[in-house]
Structure 1
C-alpha cells in the first residue's frame, strides 16, 4: 500500500536517510492499519518554540510538546461528503519537535531515529482515530505503536 507523504523540515536537521526510513516505517504502519492506497499525510519537523505556539493555540497548553497531530478525516457534525469523486483520503498533519525528540531519545536511552519513529507512528495512529484519553485507549494505542515499531525492526 502506498502512502503519500509531504515532508516539511523547518529545522534543517533531518537527513535524507532519516526521511527514507520514516517513509518506509509510516508506509508499513499504513499497511498494518489497512489504510487505502494513496492516502496523504503531512509530516513537519519544527523547533520547540514553533511547537509550543501550536500547542498553546490549539490545545491551550503553553509549553513545548513532542508531537501534535491534526486529523482531516474526522467525521463530524456539518461535514460535507463529496459524491462521485474518487480521491485518496487526506489523513492530516503530524508535527514533531526535533529538540524534544533528541531530549527524549537521550532520556529513554535509545537512538534519535527510534524516537523519531516512535513519534511519527504515534502521530500517525492519532490521525487514524487512536487516542490515549482513557487507560484502556492508552493500552491499545501504545501496544499498537510497539507492535509496529518492533515488527518493522526499529527497536529500543
Structure 2
C-alpha cells in the first residue's frame, strides 16, 4: 500500500483561498502533517513485519517437512507390512495350489484305473454271459434227452 504524503504548501494555499488566516492555516497544516506521520508505517515497521512473516513461513516449512516425513515413514512401513503379508499369502496359495494339482493328478490316475477296471468287468461279464448260455443250452439239451429217452 502506497501512502500519499501531504503536500503542505498546497494545503496551506487551499486554506488561505478558503479564507482561513495565515496563522490558522499554518497551524492546521502542521497538525495534519503530524497526524499523517504518526499514522504512517515506517520502513523499520515493515521490515519487522516482514521478518515475522518470514520466520512464520520457515517454522511452517519445518513443521510441514516433519509431518510429511512422518507420514512418508508411516506409509513406507505400511507398504513393507503389506508386502510381507502378500508374500506370505502368495506362498501359502502356491503351496495349496501345488497340493490341489497333485490331488487332481491322483484323481485323474484313479479315474483312468477305474475306467480300465470297468472295461475289464464288462469283458468278464460278456464271457460269463456266454458261458451261462452254453451251460443253459447244454442243460436244456440234456433235459430234453432225458425226457425223451
If the TM-score is normalised by the length of the shorter chain, which range does it land in?
Answer: under 0.3
Which structure has the bigger radius of gyration?
Answer: 2
More helix by share: 2
The TM-score normalised by the length of structure 1 is 0.17
The TM-score normalised by the length of structure 2 is 0.18
Q: RCO higher in 1 or 2 (8 Å CA, sep ≥ 6)?
A: 1
